Amino acid sequence: MFKQQLLILSVLIPVIGIALQIYWNRHLTLPVMIFRCLLNTVIARNKYLGRLSEMTEKTRSNKKESIFMMGSVMRPHWKDLDLEAKTLNSLVAFAGQSQLKLDKYGLRKSMEHQALYPPIEAGRNCESIQVIESLRNSIFVRMKEFNLDKSKEPKVLFYVHGGGGYGGLAAGLQARGVVEFLNDSRYTHSIKFMLSVNYRLLGLDENEKKKRDVYAANFEDQLEDCWNAYQWLLKENNFKPQNIVMMGDSFGPMLIMNLLAKIGANATEQLPRAAALASGYFDLSGKTLGENFDEENSILVSKNNMELIQGLYATEKSSYSPIGYDSTVVSSFNATKLLLVYSNHEECTADNVKMVQTLQNGKHPHVQVIAENGHIHGYPLFFYYSPQIRKTMEKMIEFLDQSQLFN
């Protein structure tokens, strides 16, 4: 009798989960709906059938998880996470196994996955979206105003996506996720606009690097694209620096820190109000990443991915690595309030620890840190899928919204 009940339950849970997801997410694209159905179904399985189990030595040594255990294999340092985050981590880890089979072009392509959040569409999750051709097709989004805090001056969010410098999209999962969060009726904020920068991705071979209108030949090209995008906000749209806030993930914080240093060296009056940096990669040489590489904590960045990143920027100037900034450079952007968010169990943990220490040594007066256990690289962007992660994203947006201007 008990086995029959379990069998019925195992059938009903996926059916109910799919039905509910279709109902609540009927406005989503099919890939997003399928992913959310899958995740909620696996969460229900783990919750009601007790399928969540700790990784065994056999699984660890094989570096491979069975498809039947997809979304149900827990690693020890995930113990403090909610069930949703554990399940998400397990699904991401399972999917990440395929990275090891990809060449560098395949790794870039894999970063274009669009199943986490719906596309940005005018009238659905924003007021308008504009493609800025002069900024290499960066996207400028105007949010809906139903939850806009009109007691404050409207702000613009300057977003720089991650992707190891060679992958990612301006209209990818990062921008999509931020728009979905800002459009949530549960929150009131003053961020009315977002510019997601479409900086040139670093060429993966010499032929790509020669196509300077499409790919970057070096890090300086990428920094130049971010600088031009920031100047576009100031000069062509007349945004005041005190109403500009920045946000980025993974490789994005690398560019943001270099951009802050460049603004600080050339025009301190143009420094933005605040910057929130998620899982930042701060050593351009990749040395810190390589020396601290831990396969158990490497869910999103596979070993071949790490080695590719190290090779791409091997000849760049050390001055581009923010962890090496001296007090003079750090003091040049003292007016910008900083928030660094990272997991103590991710690929870029050591990068962030060193970056925090560099800022403290340079006596930057306005640095806040959120360091949490068990999460994966870039975890705040997965806010939709875990109440626990959502709280972190709430803190990041609140930081950008509430930060006072410092002189």
**CA 109 from chain center: how many Å?**
17
Q: State residue 47 phi and psi, 5-degree precision.
A: -75, -45
Residue written as token pair 């190891």:
164
Quick one: DSSP state of residue 26?
T
Give the span between the Cα atoms of 232 and 238, in whole angstroms.
8
- What number of helices (H) and strands (E) belong to the chain? 14, 12
Q: What is the pLDDT of residue 47?
A: 87
Q: What is the pLDDT of residue 13?
A: 66
pLDDT (tens place) for every residue of the chain, 407 residues total: 555 556 655 666 666 666 555 545 556 788 888 888 888 988 988 888 877 777 654 454 445 556 667 778 888 899 999 999 999 999 888 888 888 889 999 999 988 877 889 999 888 889 999 999 999 999 999 999 999 999 999 999 999 999 999 999 999 999 999 999 999 989 999 999 999 999 999 999 999 999 999 999 999 999 999 999 999 999 999 999 999 999 999 999 999 999 999 999 999 999 999 999 999 999 999 999 999 988 777 888 888 888 998 899 988 999 999 999 999 999 999 999 999 999 999 999 999 999 999 999 999 999 999 999 999 999 999 999 999 999 999 999 999 998 654 44
Residue showing tokens 């989960």: 17
Cα gap 294→292, rounded to integer Å = 6
Angle at 169 between CA 33 and CA 198, to 5 degrees: 145
**Residues forming a β-bridge with 219:** none
In which residue are the tokens 């103590």 written?
344
pLDDT value, residue 61 = 44
CA gap 306, 283 in Å, rounded: 12
pLDDT at residue 316, rounded to an integer: 92
DSSP H/E element including 177 = helix 173-182
Reading the block at residue 46, the tokens are 């783990």
Alpha-carbon Rg for the chain in angstroms: 21
Torsion over CA: 181, 39, 304, 372 (sign) = positive
Residue 57 is predicted with a pLDDT of 46
Q: Amino acid identity, residue 13?
A: I
CB 33 within 8 A of CB 116: no
Is residue 265 within 8 Å of 194, Cβ to Cβ?
A: no
Biggest CA-to-CA distance, the chain: 75
Q: Taking the model in full, what pTM does it have?
A: 0.90
Domains of the chain: 1-50 (no CATH), 117-402 (3.40.50.1820)
